[in-house]
A and B are shown apart, each in its own frame.
Chain A
Amino acid sequence: MARYIGCAMTKKEQVKAIFIEEAGEIIEKLDVDILRFEEDSSDFNLLNEIFRGVHTLKGNSNAFGFTRLGEFVHHFEDLLDYYRTTRDEIEEHYLDLFVGSVDVVKEVMICELDEVETLPGGYGEYLGKIKDLIAIKTNKTVVTVPQMSGVEPTIDAISMSDLAAEFGLGCQEEVSKTVTNCIKTKQISQEDGLNLYLINLTLDSDSYKRGFDHLIFLHLLKEKAASLDSFFNMESIGTLDNFLSEENKILNVSIVVLTSQSLEEVTEYFEFLFENEYLITLVEPSITGVIKERDIAPEKPNIVDARKGSDRRKDDRREPTETSSSSALTTKSTIRIDTIKLDELFDSVGELVIAQNFVAQNEKIRAIEDESISRAIETLSKITKKIQDRVMSLRMVAIRDTFDKMKRVVRDTSKKTGKELRLIVVGEETEIDKTMIDSLSDPLIHIIRNAIDHGLEADAAERLSVGKKTEGTITLRAFHKSGSIVISVSDDGRGINKEKVLQKAIERGVVTGDENLTDSQIFALLMQPGFSTADTISDLSGRGVGLDVVKTSIEKLRGKIEVDSKEGEGTVFSMVLPLTLAIIDGMLVRTAGEIYIIPTLSVVESFRPDKEIVHSLKGKGEFVSMRAQHIPVIRLSDVFALDVKRIEPWEGILVCVETGAGRVAIMVDELLGRQQVVIKTLGQSLSKLKEITGGAILGNGDIALILNVDELCPVFES
């Protein structure tokens, strides 16, 4: 797999960073898979997948000195291995041990990364349970050392002998030394046109069953090799008591090959192995002996069932064995790229779009009446649009992973509250900007917990009394709507009591009670800081902090949150988000000769008001009366202190926008149209202006400022 690594890091740090990133991904996946397995513990393909994740984590953890994590996953792996090989039925009460163990793995990983000496609370308990269960299952008696209350085991207390044996620390040094000498010798004799590779094979114990033998790869490499040396580390092979021919016990094989083959050709031989099973390194043809690391351990393809591949090589002797993993059927080739690089690419494409627009709209060029030039500009425009769309799509990822994480939240909250419920997930395939997805988890978790804790009725009896099923329903939905993405959480619970919300808001002085608030405005009060109508406070929700934080988080993503509820039927919290953070869909307006962009998501309507509906109150500014609402008029010329001739509102155009504080009407001279623009950050001086979120370069080279409508306030005349 190709990876982008910051050049400021040392090689060791780079490798460690890769491990941390991969370990995080593995743990995240374990978290999801273990829940799926809890739902269907007969899915042995899924169990195999969980096993592989734990196995990879074990190898990597120990390699990086995260021995406490390594020790835990080592035993967890043993337990998983028992069930996957015996296909023994997993008793329901043991499933909690599986789920809990994944929690411990997550916590230990944090301890390892933060170099915290104290192990998490559940470490000793779960390790003991795992060992006990293995003992029960394998009819061996083990004595679990009882833990003293409040004292967690340190790694010193845990036997390391099995790990040391497994990872062959003594012998590996000798192998490394010999391999280094071999490489040096080959470098000296390396001729032009020959490449020198160091290949490390760490085949899993089931590799023979999967049809892979170290010698197969040696045979394939030998065909085109000028020289081929392999070094088998046999340290981990024990006595016959612990030996079975059909299980690979060879810890590691290092191969040094001098060949005319390219990296791609060599990589192809190993493409059916798991990515943790091999590492190919291209050795520089210098006499310095410096190895240029190109970690190309192939991310391919999630191909777990290589045996079913139609292009299997004739001589690789693979035998059909077990089935593929349940979620590993896609054979897409992927590459991991740092998002910083993607952002840079996106910025460059933004510049390209601007330059292309500049060419297309340049009056001097347009004045040239030449068909071939027009055609060339048109082609350039089409290609630029295509590139822009493709680059945009690189940032888009399906929301499935985030939704998967929410399943765990629902499960835990359901257990904690004792409420029986089911989760319905709709639109997992909906794609959203990667940058945005990272910021969505916390708001979603909060809304879901809130929905279960307060949205749903207290218990089954209450639901039955109002004619509902005992089981509550939480629906998580993602869909596109008018160029935005909507993510909603709905429950079929009590619904929101509007009167209660309004009463509370009046008590707290948030509103006076004289306002003629719409339903959505009343519901929006729930998101005021410190506002809570919950009669009881739980550790899940009801503290009055949270929904305002949710609102702020969503607004940071340039989105908004809407609440809809019917008493007795349920509540829907909808997060309306832009497709991406890099581009904004805006309405271009002109005022006082300057162009401004109003985010389309905020725009309700635009109109030229009649004189009769415009009012002016001394000290309170101008208002426009519409549908029984008095909407403040905001003059951009006042906000930005522009020196212009003052016109009356009915001579201009009002753009009515929805803000956090209610609707306001922005007065502009002219509407120029709707356009998608690439957002540019502003320099230090302009970035201090809270009324502006960024800038954009228009096709003709003009610069337009993007308005932050939530910060627009009427400027009153003294």
Chain B
Amino acid sequence: MEFNGDELTIELDMSMEEIREFEHFVRSRLEYIELIAVEEGTTLKSSALLALLVSLKRTKPELKIPFLEQGMSNSSAYGSIHWMCHD
């Protein structure tokens, strides 16, 4: 995870423990974060991270999360994952 000014870059393959740490980290800093990017070549490891990203977007609608906005992700491990969330 890299925090560069108002841009946060995360790896998708976080374990549950890492997701909990990320949640803790981002809760107190959400105000300053403008964009959350994901590191290329990483794949989701838990649906909890996807849920957390959605929750972050719900909490701060102006936050940019390009990965989330794609609405789907393709991977050899999980096939095509689509997510739907009405705001």
Q: Which of B18-47 contact A (CB under 8 A)?
A: 19-20, 22-23, 27, 30, 44-47
**Which residues of the partner chain A approach B50 to less than 8 Å between Cβ atoms?**
232, 234, 250
A170, A208, A213, A232: the one contacting B83 at CB < 8 Å is: A232
Q: Which of B20, B47, B78, B80 has the most chain A CB atoms inside 10 A of its CB?
A: B47
A234-B83, A240-B27, A245-B20 known; A213-B77 Cβ under 8 A: no
- Measured CB to CB, the closest approach of chain B to A224, in angstroms, equals 12
Q: How far is the CA of A228 from the CA of B44 in the complex (A)?
A: 16
B79 & A175 in contact (Cβ 8 Å cutoff): no
A interface size (C-beta, 8 A): 37
A215-B47, A240-B27, A250-B51 known; A170-B79 Cβ under 8 A: no
Q: Which of A431-490 contact B (CB under 8 A)?
A: none
B78 & A222 in contact (Cβ 8 Å cutoff): yes
- Measured CB to CB, the closest approach of chain B to A619, in angstroms, equals 89
B85 & A214 in contact (Cβ 8 Å cutoff): no
- Measured CB to CB, the closest approach of chain B to A326, in angstroms, equals 28
Q: How far is the CA of A230 from the CA of B19 in the complex (A)?
A: 22
A174, A218, A219, A248: the one contacting B48 at CB < 8 Å is: A248
A249 & B51 in contact (Cβ 8 Å cutoff): yes
B86 & A239 in contact (Cβ 8 Å cutoff): no
Q: Which of A215, A222, A231, A233 has the most chain B CB atoms inside 10 A of its CB?
A: A215
**Which residues of the partner chain B approach A235 to less than 8 Å between Cβ atoms?**
84-86
Residue A291, interface by CB 8 Å: no
- Measured CB to CB, the closest approach of chain A to B36, in angstroms, equals 13
Q: Which of A404-421 contact B (CB under 8 A)?
A: none
CB-CB nearest in chain A for B82: A231
CB-CB nearest in chain B for A244: B23
A250 & B47 in contact (Cβ 8 Å cutoff): yes
Residue B4, interface by CB 8 Å: no
A229, A250, A253: the one contacting B79 at CB < 8 Å is: A229
**Which residues of the partner chain B approach A215 to less than 8 Å between Cβ atoms?**
44-47, 77-78
B79 & A227 in contact (Cβ 8 Å cutoff): yes
Q: How far is the CA of A215 from the CA of B79 in the complex (A)?
A: 10
Q: How far is the CA of A227 from the CA of B74 in the complex (A)?
A: 11
Residue A237, interface by CB 8 Å: yes
B51, B54, B56, B78: the one contacting A218 at CB < 8 Å is: B78
- Measured CB to CB, the closest approach of chain A to B14, in angstroms, equals 10
Residue A238, interface by CB 8 Å: yes
Residue A225, interface by CB 8 Å: yes
Q: How far is the CA of A208 from the CA of B17 in the complex (A)?
A: 11
**Which residues of the partner chain B approach A238 to less than 8 Å between Cβ atoms?**
55, 58
A245 & B23 in contact (Cβ 8 Å cutoff): yes
Q: What mask results when residues 371 to 391 of chain A are scored 1 for a CB within 8 Å of chain B, else 0?
A: 000000000000000000000
**Which residues of the partner chain B approach A213 to less than 8 Å between Cβ atoms?**
46-48
A219, A232, A239, A240: the one contacting B84 at CB < 8 Å is: A232
B80 & A237 in contact (Cβ 8 Å cutoff): no
Residue B1, interface by CB 8 Å: no
Q: How far is the CA of A257 from the CA of B80 in the complex (A)?
A: 10
B85 & A234 in contact (Cβ 8 Å cutoff): yes
A208-B16, A240-B56 known; A171-B84 Cβ under 8 A: yes
Residue A243, interface by CB 8 Å: yes
Residue B70, interface by CB 8 Å: no
A230 & B82 in contact (Cβ 8 Å cutoff): yes
B85 & A178 in contact (Cβ 8 Å cutoff): no
CB-CB nearest in chain B for A168: B86
B30 & A240 in contact (Cβ 8 Å cutoff): yes
A245-B16, A245-B23, A245-B52 known; A237-B58 Cβ under 8 A: yes
**Which residues of the partner chain B approach A244 to less than 8 Å between Cβ atoms?**
23
B22, B30, B81, B84: the one contacting A175 at CB < 8 Å is: B84
Q: What mask results when residues 49 to 87 of chain B are scored 1 for a CB within 8 Å of chain A, else 0?
A: 111101110110000000000000000111111111110
A170-B86, A240-B55, A246-B20 known; A232-B77 Cβ under 8 A: no
Q: How far is the CA of A228 from the CA of B49 in the complex (A)?
A: 20
- Measured CB to CB, the closest approach of chain A to B38, in angstroms, equals 16
A239 & B58 in contact (Cβ 8 Å cutoff): yes
A230 & B20 in contact (Cβ 8 Å cutoff): no
**Which residues of the partner chain A approach B79 to less than 8 Å between Cβ atoms?**
218, 221-222, 225, 227-230, 257
- Measured CB to CB, the closest approach of chain A to B10, in angstroms, equals 13
B78 & A230 in contact (Cβ 8 Å cutoff): yes
**Which residues of the partner chain B approach A178 to less than 8 Å between Cβ atoms?**
82, 84
Q: How far is the CA of A219 from the CA of B50 in the complex (A)?
A: 16
- Measured CB to CB, the closest approach of chain B to A204, in angstroms, equals 13
- Measured CB to CB, the closest approach of chain B to A128, in angstroms, equals 31
**Which residues of the partner chain A approach B44 to less than 8 Å between Cβ atoms?**
215
- Measured CB to CB, the closest approach of chain B to A203, in angstroms, equals 9
**Which residues of the partner chain B approach A257 to less than 8 Å between Cβ atoms?**
79
B80 & A228 in contact (Cβ 8 Å cutoff): yes
Q: How far is the CA of A231 from the CA of B84 in the complex (A)?
A: 7
**Which residues of the partner chain B approach A208 to less than 8 Å between Cβ atoms?**
16, 46, 48
- Measured CB to CB, the closest approach of chain B to A202, in angstroms, equals 13
Q: How far is the CA of A225 from the CA of B79 in the complex (A)?
A: 9
A246 & B86 in contact (Cβ 8 Å cutoff): no
B84 & A237 in contact (Cβ 8 Å cutoff): no
**Which residues of the partner chain A approach B30 to less than 8 Å between Cβ atoms?**
240
A219 & B51 in contact (Cβ 8 Å cutoff): no
**Which residues of the partner chain A approach B20 to less than 8 Å between Cβ atoms?**
245-246
Q: How far is the CA of A104 from the CA of B45 in the complex (A)?
A: 43
B56 & A232 in contact (Cβ 8 Å cutoff): no
A174 & B84 in contact (Cβ 8 Å cutoff): yes
**Which residues of the partner chain A approach B84 to less than 8 Å between Cβ atoms?**
171, 174-175, 178, 231-235
**Which residues of the partner chain B approach A170 to less than 8 Å between Cβ atoms?**
86
**Which residues of the partner chain B approach A175 to less than 8 Å between Cβ atoms?**
84
Q: How far is the CA of A233 from the CA of B54 in the complex (A)?
A: 11
CB-CB nearest in chain B for A174: B84
CB-CB nearest in chain B for A179: B82
CB-CB nearest in chain A for B26: A240
B80 & A245 in contact (Cβ 8 Å cutoff): no
Q: How far is the CA of A233 from the CA of B51 in the complex (A)?
A: 10
A237 & B82 in contact (Cβ 8 Å cutoff): no
Q: What mask results when residues 1 to 21 of chain B are scored 1 for a CB within 8 Å of chain A, else 0?
A: 000000000000000100110
B85 & A229 in contact (Cβ 8 Å cutoff): no
**Which residues of the partner chain B approach A237 to less than 8 Å between Cβ atoms?**
51, 54-55, 58, 85
A214 & B86 in contact (Cβ 8 Å cutoff): no
A230-B78, A232-B47 known; A243-B52 Cβ under 8 A: yes
A219 & B77 in contact (Cβ 8 Å cutoff): yes
26 pairs from A and B in contact (CB 8 Å cutoff):
A171-B86, A175-B84, A178-B82, A208-B16, A215-B44, A215-B46, A222-B78, A229-B79, A230-B80, A231-B82, A232-B47, A232-B81, A234-B50, A240-B56, A243-B55, A245-B22, A245-B51, A245-B52, A246-B16, A248-B47, A248-B48, A248-B51, A249-B51, A249-B55, A250-B51, A257-B79
Other CB < 8 Å A-B pairs besides A244-B23, A246-B48, 16 of them?
Answer: A175-B84, A208-B16, A222-B76, A230-B82, A232-B81, A232-B84, A233-B84, A234-B50, A235-B84, A235-B85, A239-B58, A239-B59, A240-B56, A245-B22, A248-B48, A253-B47
Which 5 residue pairs across A and B have the least CB separation, nearest first? A228-B79, A234-B85, A218-B78, A232-B83, A239-B59
